[in-house]
């Protein structure tokens, strides 16, 4: 990836559906394979050359990080804010992001290292060749709860977000240009309330996005998702050691 690429992680949600399985921990601090979800995302973006990495967490997560003396790597710039929704978290991150392009991840999106690298390379190339405003990782829908469906045409261009059902859903990993933040005031004026609504609004404004399909990704929202992610990580580790 080129110089001047930064990273961003949305980790300000409360993760209520996962609380019972995590001992009451906020989602960013839930461990998977011996590492917190937040640290996993930081390391993933770091491997892709993103620096700095802007992370937004809520006050509960920040307080626990302080109490447990949890430190993030030096390239992480932590923002503490109790935001009402994921769109607001993204827009606050946008006030800090200065690079022309940035990699964005939600804290609960688990993607294999090799697939993350493939996504970043393909997204960067597509955006340069086609003058796009962003690229989104997508996976085939397997019955996830409240997914964001994505509709595309033959060349991968995204034509619609949402709807009742589609073949593919967002995977929680993105590459965007700074242009998306020029619509922040309009999004606030429309009282949009989620990242999915913001993405749909950007399409209405004729911003151009492409979908890049991944083989697999786990969006950790509840205990079953956590168990699946752990099994995937364990199987990968076994394959690497063999």
Residue 20 reports pLDDT greater than 50: yes
Its pTM stands at: 0.92
CA distances from 84 to 14, 25, 65, 89, 198 (A): 10, 19, 21, 8, 14
Average pLDDT, the chain: 90
Q: Where are the domains of the chain?
A: 6-241
> What pLDDT, in 10s, does the model give residues 132-147?
999 999 998 876 677 8
> What pLDDT, in 10s, does the model give residues 23-64?
778 999 998 888 999 999 999 999 999 999 999 999 999 999
* In the block, residue with structure tokens 């990273």: 7
- From the list 222, 233, 219, the residue with the least C-alpha distance to 86 is 219
How many Å apart are CA 6 and CA 24, to the nearest integer?
31
Residue 2 reports pLDDT greater than 50: no
Overall fold of domain 6-241: Spore Coat Polysaccharide Biosynthesis Protein SpsA; Chain A (3.90.550)
> What pLDDT, in 10s, does the model give residues 51-110?
999 999 999 999 999 999 999 999 999 999 999 999 999 999 999 999 999 999 999 999
């Amino acid at each position: 990836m080129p110089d001047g690429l930064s990273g961003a992680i949305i980790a300000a949600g409360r993760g209520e559906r996962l609380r019972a399985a995590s001992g009451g921990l906020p989602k960013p601090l839930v461990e998977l394979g011996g590492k917190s979800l937040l640290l996993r995302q930081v390391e993933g973006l770091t491997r892709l050359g993103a620096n700095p990495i802007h992370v937004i967490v809520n006050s509960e997560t920040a307080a626990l990080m302080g109490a447990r003396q949890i430190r993030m790597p030096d390239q992480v710039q932590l923002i503490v804010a109790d935001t009402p929704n994921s769109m607001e978290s993204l827009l606050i991150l946008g006030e800090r992001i200065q690079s022309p392009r940035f990699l964005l991840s939600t804290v609960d999106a688990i993607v294999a290292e090799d697939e993350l690298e493939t996504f970043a390379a393909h997204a960067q190339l597509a955006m340069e060749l086609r003058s796009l405003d962003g690229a989104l990782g997508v996976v085939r829908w397997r019955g996830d709860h409240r997914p964001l469906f994505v509709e595309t045409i033959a060349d991968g261009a995204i034509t619609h977000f949402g709807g009742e059902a589609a073949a593919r859903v967002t995977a929680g990993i993105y590459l965007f240009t700074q242009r998306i933040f020029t619509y922040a005031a309009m999004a606030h004026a429309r009282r949009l309330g989620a990242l999915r609504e913001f993405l749909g609004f950007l399409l209405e404004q004729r911003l151009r996005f492409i979908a890049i399909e991944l083989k697999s990704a786990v969006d950790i929202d509840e205990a079953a998702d956590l168990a699946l992610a752990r099994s995937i990580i364990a199987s990968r580790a076994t394959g690497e050691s063999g």
